[in-house]
């Protein structure tokens, strides 16, 4: 069972439905309505492992995400992402894979170490399970693509998926950011608007779909994101494993 402590935080797998409920409540706060109490849930929750990152002093839940392990690409259609992306190209991926979803940090928490501990927990999980591909949906807040043109231009120019794995369009409403007018993006603005989760994927060698899905339910634009574990730069891998202990 995944359990470790680092600094002010403890990362562990959910132990029973009460833990899952805590994660669902944090997701509701982060994704749906900051000002009220509710539950964000769907049918995938029952199939997933849920990771909780807690403040050791207060026991407050500061971050959570869920993991759906798959034995190989032949099961990619069972993933949450497959609802929004046509992923037939990834059916040929032979190794174990895991989908990370519903990643969120409490909007009231600003400690950068929370993200580091979350990724260390992911690293521990990936290593223990022999995962070869980590994937999921990385979300931009809001559905106005104009707010993120510089960020999307960076994705277009530097981080598109290899053609052999490239997801195709499936969702009814998408933003094809590869059709943006060519021009040099403002890298500073791009990095300021890039979601922290996605930035972490990218610095480790991750890649994205060539379009963003317009998700009006969660009020987000999201891109399919993949990370082949063997492609992570050795220095990054060593750093993550050092944090995970």
Angle at 7 between CA 51 and CA 238, to 5 degrees: 75
pLDDT at 183: 76
Tell me 161's DSSP state.
Answer: P
Residue 53: closest CA among 144, 129, 122, 126: 122
**Of 80 and 243, the one with more pLDDT:** 80
pTM: 0.94
Assess whether pLDDT exceeds 90 at residue 236: no
Q: Which residues pair with 9 in a beta bridge?
A: 6, 55
- In degrees and rounded to multiples of 5, residue 225 shows phi and psi of -130, 130
pLDDT at 245: 67
Angle at 144 between CA 142 and CA 147, to 5 degrees: 95
Domains defined along the chain, listed by start: 3-244 (3.40.630.30)
- 22-57 burial, b at 16+ Cβ within 10 Å, e below that, comes to bbbbbbbbbbeeeeeeeebbeebbeebbbbbbbbee
CB–CB of 98/108 below 8 Å?
no
What would the pLDDT profile of 102-160 be if each residue is shown by its tens digit?
999 999 999 999 999 999 999 999 999 999 999 999 999 999 999 999 999 999 999 99
Angle at 183 between CA 182 and CA 186, to 5 degrees: 135
As a whole number, the mean pLDDT across the chain is 94
* Residue 238 tokens, joined: 């060593």
Tracing tokens 């706060």 back to the chain, one arrives at 29
């Amino acid at each position: 069972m995944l359990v470790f402590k680092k600094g002010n935080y403890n990362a562990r797998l959910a132990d029973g439905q009460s833990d899952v409920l805590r994660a669902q409540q944090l997701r509701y706060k982060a994704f749906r309505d900051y000002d009220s109490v509710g539950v964000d849930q769907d049918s995938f929750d029952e199939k997933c492992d849920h990771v909780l990152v807690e403040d050791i002093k207060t026991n407050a839940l500061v971050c959570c995400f869920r993991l759906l392990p798959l034995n190989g690409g032949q099961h990619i259609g069972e993933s949450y992402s497959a609802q929004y992306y046509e992923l037939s190209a990834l059916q040929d991926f032979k190794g174990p894979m895991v989908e990370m979803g519903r990643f969120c940090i409490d909007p009231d928490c600003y400690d950068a170490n929370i993200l580091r501990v979350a990724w260390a927990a992911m690293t521990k999980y990936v290593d223990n399970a022999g995962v070869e591909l980590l994937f999921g949906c990385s979300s931009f807040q809001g559905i106005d693509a104009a707010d993120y043109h510089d960020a999307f231009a960076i994705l277009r120019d530097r981080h598109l998926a290899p053609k052999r794995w490239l997801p195709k369009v499936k969702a009814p409403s998408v933003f094809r950011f590869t059709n943006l007018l060519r021009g040099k993006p403002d890298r500073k603005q791009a990095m300021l608007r890039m979601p922290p989760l996605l930035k972490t994927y990218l610095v480790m060698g991750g890649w994205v779909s060539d379009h963003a899905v317009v998700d009006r339910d969660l009020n987000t634009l999201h891109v399919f994101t993949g990370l082949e574990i063997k492609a992570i730069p050795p220095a990054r891998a060593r750093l993550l494993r050092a944090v995970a202990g």
